[in-house]
Amino acid sequence: MIKKISAIAAAAVMAATMSIAAYATTYEDAVKAAKEAGVQSNNVQELDNFLQVHKDCFTSAQYDEMIADLNNIRDTYVAPYCKGGAKQVIDKTPAELTEADKIAVGKNWTEDEKKAICDDLIALGKRYDVVVTITNVDKAHYAVAAEHKHSGDSSNNSNSSSKKDSSSSSKAAGGTTTKSDNPVADTGAEAETSNTAAAVAAVALAAAGLGVVVMAKKNRA
């Protein structure tokens, strides 16, 4: 009986070990890690969109590395302001934060901390030949864009899904799929040109006015 139990236990342990070994981290896991780190939902979607297109360009180990980096950001910059943290402002875990909570946490960050997070993400991208651009949309929001040129080196991966995918990723040509767009775009008429014209006119008016005054003074003298 004991032999039978130990054999079953050994089989169960072996099966569990094998399933762990067979489990490959995917882009969905990286997106989930970003969500749970308290990243704003539009930025999570931007990451999701980027990784959906380039999912075959990264290996399982690279996804693990990305997740470790996102977890580190969560633990260093988000968790201290959440439930049980040293500077708690919100009684929730990072994964439970609403969009308003995320903004409240972000308001507590110093400029140095904000810069450190941006630098960290840019450096993370650089490791995988991805150009990450972070634009400050307003005091509380950022837009994140990533550009990855398909190259033979970085697409050398284990989870390539189809022939078509691997052939397309072996070319060096590419383009950007995401760009730092404002979440709410300007959808009225383009006013930039007229604003520039008005500014130039104001400067010209001031200069001409000054010229007239100088001339008048000289004439009087």
- How far from chain centre, in Å, is Cα 40? 9
Q: State the DSSP H helix or E strand holding residue 147, giving kind and residue range, or none if neither.
A: strand 142-148
The residue written with tokens 């399982």 in the block is: 60
Q: Does 220 bind another protein (CB under 8 A)?
A: no
Total residues contacting another protein (rule CB under 8 A)?
A: 60
90 vs 146 by CB, closer to another protein: 146
Q: Does 189 bind another protein (CB under 8 A)?
A: yes
Query: Which of 25, 154, 155, 178 contacts another protein by CB under 8 A?
Result: 178
Query: Which of 1, 86, 112, 164 contacts another protein by CB under 8 A?
Result: 164
Task: Tokens for 200, please give them.
Answer: 């130039």
Check: CB of residue 143 under 8 Å from CB of residue 180. Answer: yes
Check: CB of residue 11 under 8 Å from CB of residue 70. Answer: no
The closest of 180, 179, 152, 172 to 56, measured between CA atoms, is 152
Q: Does 22 bind another protein (CB under 8 A)?
A: no
Q: Which residues are near another protein by CB under 8 A?
A: 41-46, 48-49, 52-53, 55, 99, 138, 141, 143, 145, 150, 161-162, 164-165, 167-169, 171, 173-179, 181-192, 194, 197-198, 200-202, 204-205, 207-209, 211-212, 215, 218-219
